[in-house]
């Protein structure tokens, strides 16, 4: 149960929903955002969180995830379930591209499992997402059939059927015949002086005509179709081409009917598969929705805390996401919130000064818990613990209503009645200014009675108040704990930090004095309330101040202890390493001694054998004895003390080596601290992708990505993958020189090819505007690899035509340019062939 009905507006979740919709790639995901709801099913919430967490890793680590063509063709598919209706060319084109996206997403998740099988111990790195895509059909035959009907630009192919091919061939031949006839008639009329020399055929109502002065219209036999707005030109269709133009109209009608037949026939084959197709598009909607949640999670620093199937709220460094984004725009940081609600202390009673952050704390708890149970990662420390609540209640703000005859206090009591009726041990209640809005004594009494019943039912909650009797209740009853929003008395400013365990002071006297209220008024108020109350409030402030002081001391001691433990652990590791090295040296010395003993025994045996073989010859015996004596002297020269001294020297060398290593590390850290920070990458900087030779120039920076121009190619790259480079020297590049093109650039190039139009209309532009538009148009045409484009500049005075052709003659990528065929515009259109 969620109460009241405008719960989302009160905690700010409606703004989170709007942010999510902005992150979606299309209406599929936006519909899912609208349908997103609160859940108290632990398994369902955990599944949603796992899916989003996995997608966060995909967004951060994977560059090849398909993120284009999230078209919603569900209305079109539902429409063709009626017999006789069909998908038009654009709908069919959207169907093909979106089905390719579904296929690529499913393939990505399956291939990722195969590629990372060893790294993840035989398990896929994205199990929740792979489970979502397990039974999704990708319709490869349908994609291939649409490819047979439409080309890459979404137009029906000539060979989509034999009849369509015949019609288009005849249409082309008839058009060529008309063009030749018109040119012949036009040349003859120009020779006779009926028509100006610079006149070209034009189109009127889909028929090729010749512009003629009104005084000469009787000279040219044919049908007058139209005249200019000024009446100075009439448009005549010569009689010789009337029948041919009529045939063109007939062929165009036949062409359209054949295309409709092809589309109707295809739609009939699709009709039985509509339910399965709709299921696949539901999967695409889920992916768009999960991706939007992941992108928003990255933007707000959201994580999945330790999520448990019980009622618990133990958060560290939690922040309000909307407040965080608002302060970040002004270069400020939000103060994180640490809060703990357990079965032993379920209800937190927060007190403190006005504008000290009590309401923000309450809203933060409500918004983050609601986000979590909607399947959204939340901005807090990963070691936080969060649970599941079945009911959420909030009472915040002024709900007075003239229509409903409700005052401010009546509306609060109405909310309390609903909370008492619906709350239990699985409920979380959020109440701001508990007991306010009426006479303090009775208001405080009613609030205490309500608090008692909330506590008896085991309800969890966060409540803000200024009433002393509620603070005493929290001190005296188990299950309720006091909390204070801290305030700096010396600087007279709120610290926006929550401290649990002690009640807070309202600091009314201090705030009144800071605002500048007359001192006699403050003194008079102090006398009215009594010195004991003022002193008790000061004692409370002193207790809070002292507790904060000793808490800071305790944290510092813990930090020092942690540093000491790390130091001791490091020294113990170094001592263990030195002891291991000492044992290794002694082991090698022992091996050498054993080898020496073996050599000595072998020498003695050889000496005895030599004496026996020499049969005790005096000279030979003397030589052998001399050799044995020399060897004995060599062994005797090896002093054990010298061996121990050598070991000690070795140990000292190792110790000095360890010290030098530590000194080098310290020097490197100091040098790194003193070294100037690397200049950040900015617009107009020359950069290269790390590990690649190609140098480009940054056009703009968009957050963590940069738009870089590599030669004639513009691409989007993550800033962290770029490094500064020297500006390239001006030199001609050989045609065969290769350059690095990232997958993101290839994807953008494919998108540009799909959306590129081969015609540009510059009529009505000034000369410089037209030249600029044509320059960009030709550059894009060369980039996407189009072989032919058309520039519509009109005839007029001929200035635009001349300027454009002068520019085209300077472009190395232009093969040739000429007037369009007379039936398609003649001199008013320039056809450009590109290499």
Q: List the beta bridge partners of residue 819.
A: 830
CA distances to 255, 404, 541 from 651, in Å:
94, 89, 61
Q: Where are the alpha helices (DSSP H) in 329-456?
A: 358-373, 408-422, 440-456
Q: Which residue stretches of 396-489 are H helix?
A: 408-422, 440-456, 468-476
List the one residue out of 214, 216, 207, 215 whose CA is nearest residue 239.
207
CA dihedral 144, 146, 149, 155 (to 10 degrees): -130
Contact between 781 and 834 (Cβ < 8 Å)? yes
Task: Looking at 63-119, list the stretches that DSSP marks H as alpha helix, in order from N- to C-terminal side.
Answer: 74-79, 89-115
Q: Measured between alpha carbons, how far is 726 from 687 in angstroms, rounded to an integer?
A: 8
Give the model confidence (pLDDT) of 289-328 as tens digits. 999 999 999 999 999 999 999 999 999 999 999 999 999 8
Give the pLDDT confidence score for residue 406 in this predicted structure.
55
CA distance 458 to 478: 11
Q: Which stretches in the chain have pLDDT values below 50?
A: 114, 117-122, 400-405, 616, 731-740
Looking at 675-766, list the stretches that DSSP marks H as alpha helix, in order from N- to C-terminal side.
743-755
626-642 pLDDT, tens digit each? 666 666 666 555 555 55
Question: What is the distance between the alpha carbons of residues 124 and 116, in angstroms, rounded to a whole number?
Answer: 7
- At 291 the pLDDT is 94
pLDDT computed for residue 353 by the predictor: 80
The CA-atom distances, in angstroms, between 782 and each of 64, 785, 788 are 26, 5, 10
Phi, psi of 687 (to 5 degrees): -140, 170
pTM exceeds 0.85:
no
Please report the pLDDT score of residue 679 as a whole number. 74
> Omega into 4 within 30° of 0, i.e. cis?
yes
Six token digits for residue 69 = 């063509």
Distance between CA atoms of 537 and 639, rounded to whole angstroms? 83
Q: What is the pLDDT of residue 628?
A: 61
Q: What's the rounded Cα separation, in Å, for the pair 763 and 797?
A: 12
Cα–Cα nearest to 778, from 754, 803, 760, 802:
760
d(Cα 436, Cα 441) in Å, to the nearest integer? 10
Structure tokens at 230: 């000024």
Q: At what angle do helices 767-784 and 799-808 cross, to 10 degrees?
A: 40
Listing from the earlier edge strand, what are the strands of the sheet with 234-238?
202-204, 207-212, 234-238, 222-227
Nearest to 818, CA basis, from 789, 781, 796: 789
Question: Which ranges in 638-756 belong to alpha helices (H)?
Answer: 640-674, 743-755
């Amino acid at each position: 149960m969620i109460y009241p009905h405008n719960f989302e507006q009160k905690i700010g979740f409606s703004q989170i929903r709007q942010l999510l919709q902005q992150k979606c790639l299309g209406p599929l995901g936006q519909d899912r955002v609208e349908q997103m709801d609160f859940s108290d099913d632990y398994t369902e919430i955990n599944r949603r969180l796992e899916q989003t967490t996995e997608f966060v890793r995909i967004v951060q680590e994977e560059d090849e995830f398909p993120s284009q063509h999230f078209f919603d063709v569900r209305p079109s598919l539902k429409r063709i379930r009626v017999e006789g209706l069909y998908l038009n060319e654009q709908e069919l084109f959207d169907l093909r591209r979106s089905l390719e996206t579904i296929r690529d997403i499913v393939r990505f998740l399956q291939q990722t499992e195969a590629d990372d099988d060893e790294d993840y111990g035989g398990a896929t790195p994205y199990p929740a997402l792979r489970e979502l895509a397990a039974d999704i059909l990708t319709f490869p035959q349908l994609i291939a059939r649409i490819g047979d009907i439409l080309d890459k630009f979404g137009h029906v192919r000539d060979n989509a059927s034999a009849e369509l091919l015949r019609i288009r061939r005849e249409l082309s031949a008839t058009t060529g015949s008309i063009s030749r006839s018109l040119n012949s008639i036009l040349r003859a009329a120009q020779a006779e002086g009926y028509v100006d020399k610079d006149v070209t055929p034009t189109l009127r109502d889909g028929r090729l005509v010749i512009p003629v002065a009104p005084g000469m219209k009787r000279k040219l036999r044919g049908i007058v179709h139209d005249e200019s707005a000024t009446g100075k030109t009439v448009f005549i269709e010569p009689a010789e081409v009337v029948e041919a133009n009529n045939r063109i109209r007939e062929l165009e009608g036949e062409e359209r009917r054949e295309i409709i037949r092809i589309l109707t026939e295809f739609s009939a084959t699709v009709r039985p598969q509509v339910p399965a197709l709709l299921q696949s598009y539901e999967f695409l909607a889920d992916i768009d929705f999960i991706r939007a949640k992941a992108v928003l999670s990255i933007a707000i620093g959201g994580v999945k805390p330790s999520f448990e199937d019980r009622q618990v709220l133990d958060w560290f460094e939690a922040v309000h996401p909307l407040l965080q984004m608002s302060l970040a725009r002004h270069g400020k940081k939000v103060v994180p919130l640490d809060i703990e609600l357990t079965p032993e202390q379920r209800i937190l009673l927060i007190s403190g000064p006005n504008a000290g952050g009590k309401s923000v704390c309450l809203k933060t708890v409500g918004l983050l818990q609601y986000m979590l149970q909607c399947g959204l990662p939340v901005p807090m420390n990963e070691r936080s613990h969060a649970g599941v609540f079945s009911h959420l209640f909030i009472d915040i703000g002024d709900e007075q209503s003239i229509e409903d005859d409700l005052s401010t206090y009546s509306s609060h009591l109405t909310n309390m009645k609903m909370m008492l009726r619906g709350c239990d041990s699985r409920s979380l209640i959020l109440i701001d200014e508990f007991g306010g809005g009426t006479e303090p004594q009775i208001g405080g009494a009613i609030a205490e009675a309500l608090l008692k019943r909330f506590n008896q039912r085991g309800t969890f909650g966060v409540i803000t108040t200024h009433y002393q009797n509620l603070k005493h209740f929290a001190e005296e009853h188990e299950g309720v704990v006091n909390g204070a929003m801290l305030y700096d008395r010396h600087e007279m400013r709120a610290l926006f930090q929550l401290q649990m365990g002690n009640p807070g002071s309202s600091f009314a006297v201090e705030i009144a004095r800071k605002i500048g209220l007359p001192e006699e008024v403050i003194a008079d108020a102090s006398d009215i309330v009594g010195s004991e109350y003022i002193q008790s409030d000061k004692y409370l402030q002193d207790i809070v101040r002292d507790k904060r002081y000793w808490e800071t001391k305790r944290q510092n001691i813990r930090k020092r202890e942690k540093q000491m433990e790390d130091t001791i652990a490091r020294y113990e590791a170094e001592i263990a390493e030195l002891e291991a090295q000492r044992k290794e040296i002694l082991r090698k010395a022992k091996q050498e001694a054993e080898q020496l003993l073996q050599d000595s025994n072998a020498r003695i045996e050889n000496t005895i054998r030599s004496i026996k073989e020499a049969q005790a010859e005096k000279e030979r015996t003397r030589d052998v004895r001399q050799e044995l004596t020399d060897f004995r002297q060599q062994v005797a020269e090896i002093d054990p003390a010298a061996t121990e001294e050598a070991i000690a020297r070795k140990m000292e060398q190792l110790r000095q080596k360890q010290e030098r290593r530590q000194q080098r590390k310290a020097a490197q850290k100091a040098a790194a601290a003193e070294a100037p920070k690397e200049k950040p990458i900015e617009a107009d900087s020359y950069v290269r992708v790390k590990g690649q030779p190609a140098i480009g120039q940054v056009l703009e920076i968009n957050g963590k990505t940069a738009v870089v121009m590599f030669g004639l190619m513009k691409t989007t790259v993550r800033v962290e993958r770029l490094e500064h480079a020297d500006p390239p020297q001006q030199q001609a590049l050989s045609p065969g020189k290769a350059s690095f093109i990232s997958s993101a650039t290839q994807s953008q190039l494919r998108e540009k090819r799909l959306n590129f139009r081969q015609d540009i209309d510059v009529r009505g532009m000034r000369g410089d505007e037209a030249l600029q538009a044509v320059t960009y148009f030709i550059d894009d045409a060369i980039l996407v690899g189009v072989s032919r484009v058309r520039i519509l500049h009109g005839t007029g005075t001929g200035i635009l035509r001349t300027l454009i052709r002068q520019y085209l003659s300077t472009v190395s990528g232009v093969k040739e340019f000429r007037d369009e065929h007379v039936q398609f515009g003649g001199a008013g259109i320039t056809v450009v062939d590109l290499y």
